[in-house]
Amino acid sequence: MIGSMMNYQLTLTSIMQHGKQINPNKEVVSITSDHDEHRCTLSDIFERSAQVANLLKSHNIQKGDRIATLAWNDFRHMELYYGLGCSGAVCHTINPRLHPDQVNFIINDASDKIVFLDVMFIDLIKAIEAELPTVEQFIVLTSDVAVVEHLGEKWTTYEDAISVYSTEFDWPELNENDPCQLCYTSGTTGNPKGVQYSHRALVLHTMAAIVPDAFSIGKNDCILPVVPMFHVNAWGIPYMAAMAGCKLVFAGSKVADPEVLARLIKQEGVTLAAGVPTVWNLLAQYLQDNNISLPSLKKLVVGGTAMPPHLYRYFQDEQDMAIIHAWGMTEMSPLGTINHIQAKEMQKWDEDTLFEQKLKQGVPVYGIELKLVNDDGKEVAWDGKTSGNLFVRGPWVVDKYFNRPDVENVNGWFDTGDISIIDEHGYMKITDRSKDVIKSGGEWISSVDIENAMMSHPEVSLAAVIGVEHPKWDERPLLIIQNHGDAELTHDEVVTFLIGKIAKWWMPDAIAYVDAIPMTATGKMHKLKLRDVFDGYTF
Ligand code: AMP
């Protein structure tokens, strides 16, 4: 016997229909390559999503087919989010900051059939076009036909491509477990791995994220997602906006320009902005230098890396904002924990203790379960002292990676690769990482890839790379070398050697020499020990 309620499918189409019916006139403001300030409504976006769906139909795109986007945050990208997902296809967002070899791998791994891209990424794609056999069409997100002249017959502009189609579409009945979005993460070693989100996961994630003790989003909000739409669906904000009914502001390629961000926040009355600490650092600097305050901005969502204390204090004390510190992952759609509003009893704590508590990554949102496990596989206590490997489970946590049956969860729990402690109030604090990666400006650098490249140098016996705290980028790579002989390579020689082997922004910021790199019992380089040795290192 089962319950007697309707088996209503939780799909993005339901969010779109709700947005269309209940919140059609909410404004969406965007900066794009062909508009300094584009204004439209949610209703306009959904009509154009229908044009996208009609375009896919004419290309014979089938349910489950992957369609790629390499694009900044703007209204067109949002049209693709809904147009692709709600028609049954999968919107595969690609991070354009990746090395071209990785973009090539990702498009081929996903067998993308169409690539929608911003003008800025034409050169990137043109350079690998011949190696992308599955792609039938490249559609540039602009109205400027001049940019596609001479690019070849597979190339067209978005406005030309969709303009001939109807703004009506007979949206299919989808199953809530059908896939709708795909995002690759480079957060581990080897090739990037794809996380394919289901409609159900994203709907439940949206419902969990908008509640008062999470992002606290309502109809009167105006949201600026600084987090790119190619990073875990911009943390789900395009769905939250349609579900809750709020205004959206997209900064296009200007996401890291603090002057533009401050202007948009003031001009549009942004109440909530979301991004990584690197961007908030730039903004804080700009606001301080120019003596600007942003009274409309009440909620600052911070995630991707830990919020540095000085930034927390600046935005809290000088700008009177509530800091919503979130932790999550691509594999978690991404929301896992939130540190937002402390319970009343915590407000009575002394200021230092309360501030320490605020800096933690927070408590799990409903839907996410946490578990700390030691190296022997035993669960450890939530005592605020004992650290363990952080495992999670829930309806918006990845079960299997795309095309990777070889990588499996452990008894239904996903190993986050983060090491943390959890206190008796359920507040989780990240203390380290077991995964070998460095997060610079919110983007991953694989230490193992740099090490492998470096160890092919004849003078180098062993090379280890660790992340070291950096005031602007949160973390930057420090290369630690154990030499064969006495000759020490200079920084310039290392950079020259690594050019072409790794992305330019992955270049180590400094080199340190050691007599012997510490090893673990199983013969691996002992990164935890190295991180201890270089604790407090400054570039
Ligand atoms: P990504 O999949 O690129 O979103 O990266 C997820 C990883 O970023 C997590 O496993 C953490 O290592 C790190 N991370 C995300 N949010 C935070 C945070 N608030 N504090 C510390 N680390 C974070």
* pLDDT tens per residue across all 539 residues of the chain: 899 999 999 999 999 999 999 999 999 999 999 999 999 999 999 999 999 999 999 999 999 999 999 999 999 999 999 999 999 999 999 999 888 999 999 999 999 999 999 999 999 999 999 999 999 999 999 999 999 999 999 999 999 999 999 999 999 999 999 999 999 997 666 788 999 999 999 999 999 999 999 999 999 999 999 999 999 999 999 999 999 999 999 999 999 999 999 999 999 999 999 999 999 999 999 999 999 999 999 999 999 998 989 999 999 999 999 999 999 999 999 999 999 866 788 888 999 999 999 999 999 999 999 999 998 899 999 999 999 999 999 999 999 999 998 888 889 999 999 999 999 999 999 988 888 889 999 888 888 889 988 988 988 888 999 999 998 898 999 999 998 777 788 999 999 999 988 889 999 999 999 999 988 776 778 888 898 899 999 98
Q: Please identify, by atom number, the ligand 1 atom nearest to the C-alpha of residue 306.
A: 20
Domain for residue 471, yes or no? yes
Q: CB within 8 A of 239, min separation 6: which ones?
A: 12, 15, 202, 203, 205, 206, 233
pLDDT of residue 188: 61
Q: Which domain holds residue 500?
A: 438-533
Any idea what the Cα angle at residue 496 is, between residues 490 and 501, rounded to 5°? 125
Q: How many domains does the chain have?
A: 1
Which two three-digit tokens encode residue 147? 């940019």
In a domain, 372, yes or no: no
Q: What is the CATH number of the domain that holds 500?
A: 3.30.300.30
Question: Ligand 1 centroid to 13 CA: how many Å?
Answer: 29
Ligand 1 atom closest to residue 417's alpha carbon, by position in its atom list: 10
Mutation test of ligand 1: which of 439, 440, 445, 469 has the most ligand atoms closer than 8 Å to its C-beta? 439
Alpha carbons 97 and 503: distance in angstroms, whole number: 9
User: Residue 341: what pLDDT?
Assistant: 64
Determine if ligand 1 sits within 6 Å of the CB of residue 236: no
Q: How far apart are CA 336 and CA 393, in angstroms?
A: 9
**Residue 34 falls inside a structural domain:** no
The catalytic residue positions are: 185, 331, 439, 444
> Length of the chain in residues, anyone?
539
Please say whether the beta carbons of 176 and 10 come within 8 A.
Answer: yes
**pLDDT given at position 187:** 64
Does residue 443 have its Cβ closer than 6 Å to ligand 1? no
Q: Which atom of ligand 1 is nearest to the CA of 186?
A: 3
User: Is residue 455 included in any domain, yes or no?
Assistant: yes
- Residue 270 is encoded by which pair of tokens? 């942004």
> pTM of this prediction?
0.92
> DSSP labels for 210-265?
SSTTTT---TT-EEEE-S-TTSGGGGGHHHHIIIII-EEEE-BTTTT-HHHHHHHH
DSSP state letter for 318: I
pLDDT at 443: 87
Q: Which helix (H) or strand (E) holds 285?
A: helix 277-289
Binding site membership of 362 for ligand 1 (Cβ less than 6 Å)? no
Report the distance separating Cα 270 and Cα 267, nearest Å. Answer: 8
CA angle 27, 32, 34 (to 5 degrees): 115
Is residue 333 lining ligand 1, measured as CB closer than 6 Å? no
Question: What is the residue with the minimal CA distance to atom 1 of ligand 1?
Answer: 329
Within a domain: 503? yes
The residues that bridge with 15 in the sheet, in sequence order, are: none
326 part of a folded domain: no
Residue 463 lies in a domain: yes
For residue 131 the two structure tokens come to 């190696």
Hey, which residues does 70 pair with through a beta bridge? 117
509: left (phi over 0), alpha (psi -120 to 50) or beta: alpha
Residue 477 located in a structural domain:
yes
